[in-house]
Amino acid sequence: MKKKWLIVGTVVAAGVVGAGLGLFYSLPLDLRDRSPRQPLAFSHKLHAGANGIHCLFCHRAAPLSPLAGLPTLADCLDCHRFIAPEAPEIKKLQAFWDRREAIPWVRVYSLPDHVYFSHQMHLHAGVACNACHDDVAGMERVTRSASLKMGWCLDCHRRQRATIDCWTCHI
Amino acid sequence: MKRRTFLQLGGMTAAGALLAGCQAENEKLIPFLIPPDEGVTPGRAVYYASACRACPAGCGILVRVAEGRAKKIEGNPLHPVNRGKLCARGQALVQELYHPDRIRQPLKRSGPRGTGTFTPITWDEGLSLLAGRLKALQRDRESDRLALLTPPLQGAMAELAAGFLRAFGSPQHGTFELLAPDWLRTAQRQCFGAATLPWYDVAETRYLLSFGADFVEAHLSPVHYGHAFGRMRQHRDTVRGHFTYVGGRMSLTGASADRWLPARPGSEGTLALGLARLLLDAEWHDAAALAAHGLQRDEMLRHLAGYDLDRVAEETGLPAAAIAEVAREFASTRPSLAMVGEAVAFQSNGPEAVRAILLLNLLAGNLDRPGGVYPAGGGPGPEQTFSELFPLIAKMRDGGIKVALIQGNPVHAIPPATGFQAALAGVPFIVSCATLLDDTALEADLILPDHAALESWGEVIPQAGGRAGVVGLMQPVVTPVCDSRPFPDLLLATAQELGGKVAAAMPYPSYLELLKAVTRRRLDPAGGSDFAPVWANLLRQGGDFPPLGDSVPDYRWRSDAAFPAPARARFAGAEQEFPLHLQVYPASAFYDGRGAPFPWLQQLPDPMTTVVWDSWVEINPATAAGLGIGHGDLVEVTSPQGALRLPAVLYPGIRPDLVAIPLGQGQRGGGRYAQGRGGNPLTLLAATVAGVAPQPAWHATRVRLTRVSAQGELVTAGHPQGSYRSDLLGI
């Protein structure tokens, strides 16, 4: 009798552990905020969408460098000294400038250190910005739509017949 | 609250904390405030060619700079001295730039000297303080009471310093450096007529015989000769060059040899002459070379009459058979090559022993031929910087110096037995141009901080390591981190403050303009062509690397050169009281101490003993057993000059009658990583040896050892804490 319970108990315990591991595996482990609040309510929808400013006007390092780069505070103020200087968010911007402090934007898209990714190469290959960044021009606050997992990268590399050699990204 | 509720709440809090810990934070993206200078693209590195001044070898470097920060240094492949290789000391230059204890602005002493209490001041105040003191000297017609103390200077910087002192009216310029190869220049002048340094063709030689020349770690140009040594061993298909090392301590170079001859300290010259006699007796010498240099075999054998094999074997303490075998190999394996280094030169009979080894090269026909030795491995240089130091010290002691302007760290790097430190304390006004609060800056009344090497313009002329006149250019790779000013520009600014004929003698708006003018004069004496593209190209490739010209000088034995006759070595300290010889040697990480402030170099295990973050004394296990000393014990090393407590390293690669201590540690200042770490063996050395003219004789002091306790606190790389002293790094 006792032996039977012991066997059943072991089987149940093994099942619970197995299910737990399965759940652990299937759950998204990336718990980072996909649409974090930013220190300034900057609207891509307004700038890139309604006003039609090109992505590379602000993210001008993208065709030159692995990083896309952010506009400097001085770049923002070049326009906003004249455009809507009284708006509350622009006042915050001006306050950052007056304190000589950089805006601590919260990163939405990030890759681990063991992945090498270059904006420059992707732009030169003719990949459009929205292939990875989705329709940023329609977003008030930037939301990450891509999983940025290795399978997601490989899917596109296979579709585009780009190299899938390990050393391409893991250098 | 019920016990059960408490536990439930506690469990929930713990689970909440655990889950919160799993939540990864989104990183921050920090943009620039204003657009950076042209050429800075975020995420893209720029490489600047510059030159390394961490030691006199003067290698070329390439610095990777991203987002305006210097990130990584490697060797410059175009530079003929190091061909893209670089040693650890060069790599650590970035830590000089970003050292957390750098002096951030001019400082004025506000407490007693040596206590390190300073008040920050502005550059205007600092410059007017210095100029005020100098003007007072001028007013009292005491211009010769200014002393300038720097490392040996070259090129435009030497011109600038000499011009400043001439215009001001002071002849006092001390350029002493502990490990400077003055001795080799003197020997070359006495034997061959020109005070230059040799260049050894190590890569092409088949038999290398090194008399205490540690060319892998420190001798002349370690990166150059280390690379050449690798080629000597491996780059030829059928030949693997043989290497014999002579010296009482097995250095890293000695450990790379096929044969180690631990000759008694001070007997190396005798060994060289013994080998010479064996060569001549058996007629293994190069008769054509002898004739070409105007030497006769019979006459030389007469000089060598006293150097029979038995006497040489007895004096050197080496087996006669081994000496005879080395003589036969050295003579029969052509091309062969004999090098001589500091372990020999810093004995009391060093100058003659060095000449004996130069003669050995002549006998074997190794001069001016591939795989041998060539003259003029660097231009002529100073020879007497050590003996010139004594009049300066005497003057300082007698109150003959009122202002001392110091670059470098002489308080740490000059043996105190010379009386330098005591004499300096009597100088009323000391100005230090340091980057860190080093031992010299701690004694200063005014500190006018210098730029780090990676922020400076400059010229680095390698002291050796090539035959053609290589000139490396240093250029700033980042905007200055602190409110510092480069030393040459400080001299120019001071001249402007002084006005009058000093200002008129130095009309350059900045050191950069002077550097350009000097370079232009050297490259284009006629001054006809457009210099801007030439200058841009020099900066791009890191300097001027001319090919070897046609008019290459040859070695020619001076007809009036005396036959080398090394006397029996003398030592400071009686043998009964101080039974052991002491050898101090540059630690591979610190050189003479200028590497000690950088944590990368402190963390770099010594290649032979694996000790990190400390200094130590190397003792032969047999000697240690006789004195009851175990590995890691704390021992006191006593010399006639003083005593030092260090942990013991039992090291089989050292003669039983010799102990060795690395240089570089034992600094009072030098920032948080160097401060108070280890001991400075220079405090043990005698300045002069009785009966010998003043010369750098750093290996001519005897010591005795006493065990103090078992708590030496020796930290080695294999030790549990040694591999990662996180407590020291603060990470």
pLDDT category, B257, cuts 50, 70, 90? very high
Domain with CATH 3.40.50.740 in chain B: 102-176+385-450+497-507
Tell which wins on pLDDT, B29 or A30: B29
What ipTM was predicted for this assembly? Answer: 0.77
What phi and psi, each to the nearest 5 degrees, are found at residue B433?
A: -110, 80
CA B495 – CA B489 distance, rounded (Å): 10
Say if residues B118 and B107 touch (Cβ distance below 8 Å). Answer: yes
Looking at residue A89, what is its pLDDT? 92
Q: Compute the residue count for chain A.
A: 171
Say whether pLDDT at B337 is over 80: yes
| Least-confidence region, from A42-51, B77-86, B543-552 | B543-552
- Per the prediction, chain B carries an average pLDDT of 89
Q: Which residues of chain B does CATH 2.40.40.20 include? A: 580-729
Is residue B291 scored above 60 in pLDDT?
A: yes
Instruction: Label residue B99 by pLDDT band (50, 70, 90).
Output: very high
Rg (CA), chain A: 23
For B102-176+385-450+497-507, CATH number out of 3.60.15.10, 3.30.2230.10, 3.40.50.740, 1.20.200.10 equals: 3.40.50.740
B283 in reach of chain A (CB within 8 A): no
Determine the residue among A70, A113, A119, A121 to mutate to test chain B binding: the one whose Cβ has the most chain B Cβ atoms within 10 Å.
A70
User: B376 by DSSP, 3-state: which?
Assistant: strand
Q: Per-residue confidence at B15, pLDDT binned at 50, 70, 90? A: low
Concatenated DSSP letters of B613-649: SS--EEE-HHHHHHHT--TT-EEEEE-SS-EEEEEEE
**How many other C-beta atoms can be found within 10 angstroms of the C-beta atom of residue B542?**
24
> What residues of chain A lie within 8 A of the CB of B22, using their CB?
31
Which 3-state string (H, E, C) describes B581-613? EEEEEEECCCECCCCCCCHHHHHCCCCCCCECC
Full strand arrangement of the beta sheet holding B543-544: B458-460, B471-474, B543-544
* B582 close to B702: Cβ distance less than 8 angstroms: yes
Grade residue B117 by pLDDT with cuts at 50, 70 and 90: very high
Give residue B102's pLDDT band: very low, low, confident or very high (50, 70, 90).
very high
* Contact residues for B370 (Cβ-Cβ < 8 A; gap 6+): B201, B204, B335
CB spacing of B33 vs A107 below 8 angstroms: no
**Cα B271 from Cα B323, distance rounded (Å):** 8
- Angle B726-B730-B731 (CA atoms, 0-180°, nearest 5)? 70
Pick the CATH number of B37-98+451-484+525-550 from 3.30.200.210, 3.40.190.10, 3.20.20.70, 3.20.20.210: 3.30.200.210
- Chain B CB contacts of A65 under 8 Å are 41-44
pLDDT digits (tens, 9 = 90+) for A154-164: 999 999 999 99
Give pLDDT, residue B722. Answer: 45
CB of B29 less than 8 A from some CB of A: yes
For residue B621, the distance in angstroms to the closest alpha carbon of chain A comes to 48
Chain B: residue whose CA lies nearest to A64: B41
Q: Enter the tokens of residue B307.
A: 């150097």
Q: What is the pLDDT of residues B475-505, one digit of tens each?
A: 999 999 999 999 999 999 999 999 888 889 8
**CB-side neighbour CA atoms (13 Å) of A110:** 19
Q: How far is A52 from chain B (nearest CA, A)?
A: 23
Closest A-chain CA to B36:
A72
- pLDDT band at A112; cut points 50, 70, 90: confident
Chain A contact for B30, CB < 8 A?
A: yes
Q: B43–A70: do the CB atoms touch at under 8 Å?
A: no
- Superfamily covering domain B182-378: Dimethylsulfoxide Reductase, domain 2 (3.40.228.10)
Q: Which CATH number fits domain B580-729: 2.40.50.250, 3.90.79.10, 3.40.50.150, 2.40.40.20?
A: 2.40.40.20
Which of A69, A73, A104 is nearest residue B33 as measured by Cβ atoms?
Answer: A73
Beta bridge partner(s), residue B339: B210
pLDDT number for residue B728:
46
Supply the pLDDT for residue B24: 60
pLDDT at B209 over 90: yes
List of chain B residues whose C-beta atoms are within 8 Å of the C-beta of residue A75 = 35
Q: How many residues does chain B have?
A: 731
| Residue contact A105–B27, C-beta within 8 A | no
Q: Evaluate if residue B41 carries a pLDDT over 80.
A: yes
pLDDT band at B724 (very low <50, low <70, confident <90, very high): very low
> pLDDT tens for residues B394-415?
999 998 999 999 999 999 999 9
To the nearest whole Å, the CA of B120 is away from the closest chain A CA by: 24
B504: left (phi over 0), alpha (psi -120 to 50) or beta: alpha
Going from the C-alpha of B604 to that of each of A140, B88, B192, B615, the distances in angstroms are 52, 9, 41, 12
A61 vs B contacts (CB less than 8 Å): 41-44
B415 φ, ψ to 5°? -60, 130
- B660: helix, coil or strand? strand
Q: Please state, in angstroms and as integers, the Cα–Cα distance from residue B145 to each residue in B131, B171, B403, B520, following that order.
A: 14, 9, 7, 34
The dihedral region occupied by B57, where left means phi > 0, alpha psi between -120 and 50, and beta the remainder, is: alpha
Backbone angles phi, psi at B22, to 5 degrees: -70, -30
CB B57 within 8 A of CB B70: no
Does the pLDDT value for residue B382 go beyond 90?
no
A106 touching chain B per CB within 8 A: yes
Average pLDDT of chain A to the nearest whole number:
90
Q: What pLDDT does residue B719 have?
A: 58
Instruction: Determine the residue type at B482.
Output: C
In b/e form, how buried is each residue of B504-530, taking b as 16+ CB within 10 angstroms?
Answer: eebebeebbebbbebbeeebeeeeeee
Of B235-244, B304-313, B370-379, the one with minimum mean pLDDT is B370-379
Query: Quick one: which of B94, B24, B80, B44 has its CA closest to B597?
Result: B94
| pLDDT at residue B386, rounded to an integer | 86
Q: In chain B, list all ranges with CATH 3.30.200.210.
A: 37-98+451-484+525-550
Helices B155-168 & B487-498, crossing angle to 10 degrees? Answer: 20
Comparing alpha-carbon positions, the chain B residue that sits nearest to A117 is B43
Give the Å distances, CA to CA, from B712 to A157, B609, B647, B727.
60, 15, 4, 19
% of residues, chain A, pLDDT over 70: 98
Burial class (CB in 10 A: 0-12, 13-18, 19+), A37: exposed
| Minimum Cα–Cα distance from A60: chain B residue | B41
Residues of chain B positioned with their CB less than 8 A from the CB of A105: 28-31
Q: Render B179-230 in DSSP notation, one character per residue.
A: T-THHHHHHHHHHHS---EEEE-GGG-SEEEEES--TTTTSS-HHHHHHHHH
pLDDT tier, B269 (very low <50, low <70, confident <90, very high otherwise)? very high
The model's confidence at residue B277, banded by pLDDT at 50, 70 and 90, is very high
What is the arithmetic mean of pLDDT over B312-341? Answer: 94
* pLDDT value, residue B464: 86
Residue B483 contacts by C-beta under 8 Å, 6 or more apart in sequence? Answer: B104, B105, B106, B123, B449
* Range in B9-18, B72-81, B660-669 the model is least confident about: B9-18
Q: Which of B22, B23, B33 sits opposite A72 (nearest CB)?
A: B33
Q: Nearest CA of chain A to the CA of B452: how many Å? A: 27
